[in-house]
Amino acid sequence: ELEPTPQEAITDGLDIVVSLPSLHDELMYPIYLDMLKNTVTTKECLHSFCADCFITGLGKRLVSKRSLRPDPNFGALISKIYPSHDDCEVHQERVLARINKPSHQQALSHSTEEGLKIQARNRLQRGKK
């Protein structure tokens, strides 16, 4: 099995600014909507997973667990961006509130409209009797 050669670090002094919300999405684990923990990465496609979730769920379908490797650097990156898990949760709650707000309002409006239609139909049926 061939091991890929590591990429050289870019040391040109150039700083790249990335917004926290765009990074947040990359660091979230979609299965339980929280930050990746105890990260492992597949050697073939370089997708990252939480070790516990992968081994208990996805790992059952994996032919060889040798294609999985611990990724402490990714965990260190997450810790660097979110030194406190509480900070991450606060940010996550803000993002979820922003995402959910329009959909809740639309659902409430739709539900109210449907309720009014049902009430109007029931009034007509009572009037015919």
Indicate the domain borders of the chain.
1-83, 85-129
Three-state SS annotation for 34-45:
EECCCEEEECCC
* pTM as predicted: 0.48
| Token digits of residue 87 | 């900070």
**pLDDT tens over the chain, length 129 residues:** 567 777 787 888 888 888 877 777 777 777 666 778 888 888 878 888 888 777 776 656 655 556 788 888 888 888 888 777 676 677 777 777 776 777 777 887 888 888 899 888 888 888 776
Query: Is the CATH code 3.30.40.10 the one for domain 1-83?
Result: yes
